Chains A and B, each alone.
Chain A
Amino acid sequence: MTLSVKSAALESGANQGRSARSLALKLLWRDWRSGELNILIAALMVAVTTVTSIGLFSDRIRNSIQDEAGSLLAADAQIRSRNTIPISAELRQQAESAGLETADIVTFQAMSFGNNNALQLSAVKAVSPEYPLKGELVIADQPFGEGRSVQAGPPPGEAWIISRLFLSLGVEIGDTIGVGDANLQVTAALITEPDEAGSFFDFNPRVMINTADVEQTGAVQLGSRARYRLLLGGDVEPFKAQVEDSLRPDYRWADVRDANEGVTSALDRAESFLLLAGSLGVMLAGVALALASRRYASRQLSHVALLKTLGLTPNVIARLYAGNLLILGVITVFAGLVLGWVLHWAFLELASGLLPRELEPAGWRPLWIGLLTGLVCLMAFAFPPVWVLRQVPPAKVLRSELEGGTLSQRVVVAIGAVAVVGLVWFYSGDVLLTAALLGGGLIALAGVSLMAAVLIRVVRRYGSRLGTTWRLGLSNLQRHSRQNAFQIMVFSIALMLLFILTLLRSSLIGEWQQQLPEGAPNHFAFNIFEDEIDGFQGILDANNVQREPLYPMIRGRLTEVNDEALTDRLDRLQPSGDDFRRELNLTWSDTLADDNAVVEGDWWAPGDAERNLISVEQEFAEQLEIGLGDTLTFTIGGQQVDVTVKSIRSVQWDSLAPNFYVIFSGPILDGAGAAYITSFYLDADQKPLLAELLRQHPTVSVIEVDAIIRQIQDIVGQVTVAVEFILGLVLVAGFIVLLASVQATLDVRLVESAILRTLGARAALVRGGLWIEFASLGALAGLLGALGAELALAYFQTEMLNLSWTPHPLLWVTGPVLGGLVIGVIGVVSTRRVIKVPPMVVLRSV
């Protein structure tokens, strides 16, 4: 008998599945129309939308930043030859067959000859016709004239020279100059090269010529100090992977990250910030989704029980609901992808004034990530409560108090945590960050729930003395104390995120702006000799030009560390950084600049000036393993100088003030042969001052860095917009969590309010009670959120962002006030039905 029932069961189960499918779709449609699914849909949509739009937005910003940084290389990557041999033709062919654009740069020093026997050692840059692959080459028709952008460098037979070289060579546009042995016609003033940042410390004025004319100059011969670069444009990553290992040891791969320190660190910070915000947004949406799904499932319990009495089997039930969820999920995820795209686009439109120019398009990756996030959220947060509906006991139709078919909160939290950790891992690819998030999350979860429970108890005990409305509100708070502890936890996480993001945002942007304030130096002047100092300073000061102090500078080579020859030490340590064999710029100073800080040892004491002491920059010291008390030997002007390390300094390189690896305690070789260096700020209208300065001090070299500063500021601007956008999205996610968790309690509240009003309570009492309940809930959450934010900020500031920790006292006031206000308003507004719906309707439908 049992056997035949079983085989009949199999057959009939299959029939059931088919015929019940249309029923299930009908139920889904009705649930959707009645608004049952709104929060569920909204939460899933927010998860997908948040990730997709953050992805699209940051992808575009990142692409733009990289493009911008790429313009600092005039390419997407460069292969640089360390010796003076041209890049092999074979490598170029490989690059071209990999579909990359290529261009060549050769730089060398050559004497330029002008009118009236004027001559000037100049930094010649010969470029092939394809140059630049990225970025803007700007020239003018007159020295110091208004620039216009051009697509290629000078044609053969022509030279473009920088404005001040017109003065020192005594030439005008159209004149012929000699560059080595070649005679070339000057056809334009060179205003900016995209990759001039790479040649920051080329002291000599730039002459740009065509590579076809290099041979004619006679300046590049075997053994001469010419430098060769192969510029690569296009998708360089595959090519990098292809050639990186087989690259000759004297070739160096340089890409965007190497292009400029300041840009790179801004990019890194932006990346970690975006990543962080993205994961937190998803986490919030996941919580909302779990809450909404739990509510949806709990409202299905009696339906499921009824369907079971009608003969639907547990398997069919599970399939029906899972199928419904999948249909709903897929539609919602796609809607979320579209909305994510629209939102990021709309925001870019709104912010177009803040952005320097059109952003680069995004890739497909954000859409894939959005899709995957949606499906993971669906499976991890929405699916479990619905899947266990199969376990609802059918006898629940007779006795509604029967339990079963629901998941314990612990299981829900565990599944959610696994999903969040998985997603963070997927987004970041960083095991450490993921582990930190998991560990921190668990501790926070436990701590916050415990504290919330304690706080609820305390508030209930002391608050109830304030009157009936207070007693009602606070008793509500305590009555569902487990549920409320959970809600406080959710709210406090949302508020904590809000606080962290707001404060991080302002401190991040503040710090960036501080690094590059208005009026940050945008010109460097070198080779100022002692007798010119007064005259040079005089001109700047007379024109109210903001300037840095003048530093003496002398070139010297480091030869020994603690009696070990530098070459031996380099062989032993294999440092990855700079070429330490080159001549270093050395200075002496008795005061520590604002952008320097002593990290080990002490700054000079009185009398140190006579004692041959030095202060070494931190990274330089690390690379060469130099410590306090070590003896360094320099060769300066043919003489050996032994000095002892007294301190190690950190230096903020991107401050654009003159900075040095090594600072001496007193004048080097009594100051003989030193030239001075300074930096100063000129705005665009003050540019002609440069001509006057150079006319009066023809030997002084000036480097204009306004272009690179503008680039860095553009990037800061883009990052600012990105951060604001993401903050907005995370706030929306937090808002939906609030709505979802208030919704989750709505049924119980409706009944309670109906009973109260049946007993004669006025609407004002019920409403007042709700206000007190939600505002206290919010205030408690705000307090905990402030605590969490303070802890997290301390960690981020000190560990991730390398800033110093500062407490935020205001946070402890704004936290609870803001929490109480926001959650009070949202709570009362979203429960307004509790007061509006007539008690009879509520009690009848129970």
Chain B
Amino acid sequence: MIETRKLKQEVTSGEGALVILKGIDMAIHAGESVAIVGVSGSGKSTLLGMLAGLDRPSSGEVFLAGTEITALDEEQRALLRGKQVGFVFQNFQLLPSLTALENVMLPLEVKGAKEPQVRAAQWLERVGLAGRATHYPLQLSGGEQQRVAVARAFASEAPILFADEPTGNLDRRTGEKVADLLFSLNRESGTTLVLVTHDPKLAARCDRQLEMEDGTLREVALA
């Protein structure tokens, strides 16, 4: 489903070139859930951006759902994202000027899906926020905001879901609830889940764990 070949990322800063990804080769299969773990600044989020086609590597190839996204321009990548990819972010990334329902409707409207309102309302109900549909993000708690974001991610019915520290901004109990929701919806929909986290408990709920260290990636053997 997702594959990288010799993926490299360098950035030039004042002190010279900084290598963030040192030629990563990896593959994730359809329906798998994979956690990418590692310490802060190890390049986890950069890798996630590359896999999802949000950013372009310095060199190397990324294949997403059979398409070499590194060969596409931003216009084409955007269309591919709209069809194949859903996101959950650490800081929720809800549009503050739209209601909870309207935020969930966003990807459906972008795809030009039929009856976006009905489908969005169904997803809000599945994450337990049917009663909050007309609330604006600032009127919701952090946990509620992230549940709206989860609903939004699944509403697009994309086969691949990327999550960047989905519980990072939440307290432990709320985080667990959101994680429960994420994994149960993932199971029900059969999506491929790629999750970046430094929370070992969350990582442990995935099928596989990959650890980023100093720009390289290695498979963590599961007990």
| Known contacts A5-B72, A12-B79, A311-B81; A23/B110 CB under 8 A | yes
Q: Which of B156-214 contact A (CB under 8 A)?
A: 156, 164
Of A22, A27, A302, A397, the residue contacting B87 (CB under 8 A) is A397
Q: Is the CB of B78 within 8 A of A2?
A: no
The minimal Cβ–Cβ distance linking B9 to chain A, given in whole angstroms, is 11
Q: Is the CB of A397 within 8 A of B98?
A: no
A8–B156 Cα gap in the complex (Å)? Answer: 18
The minimal Cβ–Cβ distance linking A670 to chain B, given in whole angstroms, is 95
The minimal Cβ–Cβ distance linking B119 to chain A, given in whole angstroms, is 14
The minimal Cβ–Cβ distance linking B17 to chain A, given in whole angstroms, is 18
Binds A, one of B26-34, B46-54, B127-135: B46-54
Q: Is B93 an interface residue (CB 8 A)?
A: yes
Binds B, one of A232-240, A312-320, A800-808: A312-320
Q: Is the CB of B89 within 8 A of A398?
A: yes
Q: Is the CB of A398 within 8 A of B54?
A: yes
The minimal Cβ–Cβ distance linking A359 to chain B, given in whole angstroms, is 46
Q: Is B39 an interface residue (CB 8 A)?
A: no
Q: Is the CB of B54 within 8 A of A394?
A: yes
Q: Taking chain A's interface residues, is the majority helix, strand, or loop, or is none over half, making it mixed?
A: helix
| Cβ–Cβ < 8 Å partners of B75 in chain A | 9, 13, 313-315
Of A5, A307, A845, the residue contacting B76 (CB under 8 A) is A5
| Cβ–Cβ < 8 Å partners of B79 in chain A | 5, 8-9, 12-13, 16, 311, 313
Which residue of B has the minimal Cβ distance to A302?
A: B93
| Cβ–Cβ < 8 Å partners of B107 in chain A | 310-311
| Known contacts A19-B109, A314-B78, A397-B93; A26/B102 CB under 8 A | yes
Q: CB-CB contacts of B79-111 with A at 8 A, as 1s and 0s?
A: 111110101010001011110001000110111
Q: Is B66 an interface residue (CB 8 A)?
A: yes
**A-B pair number, CB within 8 angstroms:** 121
Which residue of B has the minimal Cβ distance to A29?
A: B97
| Known contacts A31-B97, A313-B79, A314-B75; A393/B54 CB under 8 A | yes
| Cβ–Cβ < 8 Å partners of A36 in chain B | 97
Q: Is the CB of A16 within 8 A of B110?
A: yes
Q: Is A582 an interface residue (CB 8 A)?
A: no
A306–B149 Cα gap in the complex (Å)? Answer: 12
Of A1, A6, A20, A313, the residue contacting B74 (CB under 8 A) is A313
Q: Is the CB of B97 within 8 A of A18?
A: no
The minimal Cβ–Cβ distance linking B83 to chain A, given in whole angstroms, is 7
Q: Is the CB of B81 within 8 A of A310?
A: yes
Of A8, A15, A306, A309, the residue contacting B52 (CB under 8 A) is A309
| Known contacts A1-B68, A18-B112; A393/B55 CB under 8 A | yes
| Cβ–Cβ < 8 Å partners of B40 in chain A | none
23 A–B pairs (Cβ distance < 8 Å), ordered by A: A2-B67, A5-B80, A9-B75, A9-B79, A12-B83, A15-B112, A16-B112, A19-B110, A19-B112, A27-B95, A307-B110, A308-B54, A309-B87, A311-B80, A311-B107, A313-B75, A314-B74, A393-B54, A393-B55, A394-B55, A398-B45, A398-B54, A398-B164
A2-B67, A19-B112, A845-B138 known, 20 other contacts, Cβ within 8 Å:
A2-B72, A12-B83, A16-B82, A16-B112, A23-B109, A26-B98, A26-B102, A27-B98, A30-B97, A309-B85, A311-B80, A311-B83, A311-B85, A311-B111, A314-B78, A394-B54, A397-B54, A397-B87, A398-B46, A398-B48
Write the residues of chain A forming the contact surface with B, with a CB cutoff of 8 angstroms. Answer: 1-2, 5-6, 8-9, 12-13, 15-16, 18-20, 22-23, 26-27, 30-31, 34, 36, 302-303, 306-316, 393-395, 397-399, 844-845
